Amino acid sequence: MAYNTMSPVRPRPYLVNNNRGFAKQKEDNESSQSSRSSQPQSQSLVSSHQTEANNNKNSQQQVIDSKASQQSAIASRDANIKNATINIAQILKDFRSTAKAIGASPELTEDVNAYLSLIEKQVLKENPDSKLIKSNLKNASSLLDNYITETLNRPSKVVENWIDALFLQQINYKFNDDEVNPHFLVKFPNQNKDDDGNSSSEEENENDDKDENNQSKKSLNIPTDDKLKALFIQAKKYVYANNSQKAMELFKEALERAVEVSDNETESKVLYEIGKIYDKNDYLAQALTSYNKSLSTTKDISVKTKAHYSMAQIYDDISQFEPAINHYMSSISYAGENENLIAQSTSLTRIGNIYSDEYRKEAFDFLLEAELIASETKNAKAKGYVSSNIASAYNKINEPQSALKYYSTAVKEYEEAQSPHKVAINYKRAAEIMQDFKNPKKAKSLFEKALAKARQTDDVQLMTEINEALSMI
């Protein structure tokens, strides 16, 4: 059943207020100057002394201002250095936590500790050997990455990449356990925001191209102009390679070519892609402008669905809920015309989450409708996504039994979708409910299941959180 009972909602334009600068007009002093020239000599002498005194005062003020500027610059520099500095004690502590989080064997832990012990001896010296410290950290990280590679059955350099990133910062090699820089607390990939804004997410964009292609192939427009086609394909390759700058350059060339050859549909797609690059890099105003332009130049329903959804997400993320809901509703409507059930269920879920965050029961009008639509698809990931968000909504209004039921459903769907990261998160959330209701035995069982799944991923922070929760039971 397609959620196609409404006509496309046309959201009101939400314009950003223009800031206008007003230049001060200079005063015309010519008349006052001419009057001063005709003053008596005694008054002129007084004026001269006053002018000299004012000049001296201004000079003194300039010196004071200059010193203040220097002090401000020094303070800013010192703050930047402090923010970019990490103590070796923090690195060693995080390294050991990482080894524990990934479930390293006693033998592996012993080998890693051998390198870390060498580092600890160095940092207690008057002049620690930084090269030796870095070498031992690289060796220890290689051991952990080899273990992760064997466990996942695919190459991993997650620990080594973390260490390399730290080497680009200022490292204080004088061991100080009390010196903690929150900017460099251990954090690894597969890290998103969840429905409550926390880490370890169920959040997915089910309107991604791959999902949309499964839902609808009714409006596939390929550029007929060879140059335009080549530019578009090359730009997309740079997008996949995470080279936003080069992708943007090529998309702008493609946009000029699309206008030149009057290919409105490709022009719209290029504008949408440009919007995505702006969006990814947090240039939100430019992203909204590009998405809006893409809507105005296309008749492609799938592009309209995605553009409205992307705009809704931006407004949602900055807590502008009225325009967010309007754009989600437009996305739902266009997706209904295209029978894109996944896009419909995703937008309905997002609206439900907005109401859920305000503890409003009408959230379930949207969430349960999303569940109904998702159930008509064969996409287990989409069904898991909806179920997990329904569970979170029930948890917010203190209905734990319903929450546990939907977390169980989410686990089942994500198991089918072969998404161990999502399975781990939903087990973890269910375990937390059991903790709240003083059922440590069941909580421990669920945390252990969550940890087993988390070990199949690169998310070291998730493993750390689960291990810490288990240690508290």
pLDDT value for 318: 86
Structural domain total, the chain:
1
Residue 114 inside a domain? The answer is yes
pLDDT value for 282: 85
> Residue 298 — left, alpha, or beta (φ > 0 → left; ψ -120 to 50 → alpha)?
beta
Q: In which residue ranges of the chain is pLDDT below 70? A: 1-84, 101-103, 151-154, 168, 181-222
How does pLDDT run across 46-62, given as a tens digit for each residue?
455 455 555 555 555 55
Task: With CA atoms as reference, report the closest residue to 154 among 380, 413, 420.
Answer: 420
Residue 173 inside a domain? The answer is yes
Q: How far apart are CA 121 and CA 88, in angstroms?
A: 12
pLDDT value for 438: 84
Asked whether the beta carbons of 466 and 105 are under 8 A apart, the reply is no
Residue 120 inside a domain? The answer is yes
pLDDT value for 71: 55
Residue 110 inside a domain? The answer is yes
Residue 130 inside a domain? The answer is yes
Q: How far apart are CA 232 and CA 266, in angstroms?
A: 9
pLDDT value for 70: 53
pLDDT value for 182: 63
- Domain holding 143, by residue range, is 85-184
Residue 111 inside a domain? The answer is yes
Q: How far apart are CA 96 and CA 137, in angstroms?
A: 11
Model-wide pTM > 0.75 = no
Distances, alpha carbon 99 to alpha carbons 67, 127, 461, in Å: 50, 28, 11
Residue 125 inside a domain? The answer is yes
Residue 136 inside a domain? The answer is yes
pLDDT value for 442: 94
pLDDT value for 172: 86
pLDDT value for 161: 73
pLDDT value for 60: 56
Strands 170-172 and 85-87, by their bridges, are parallel
Tokens of 422: 């999502």
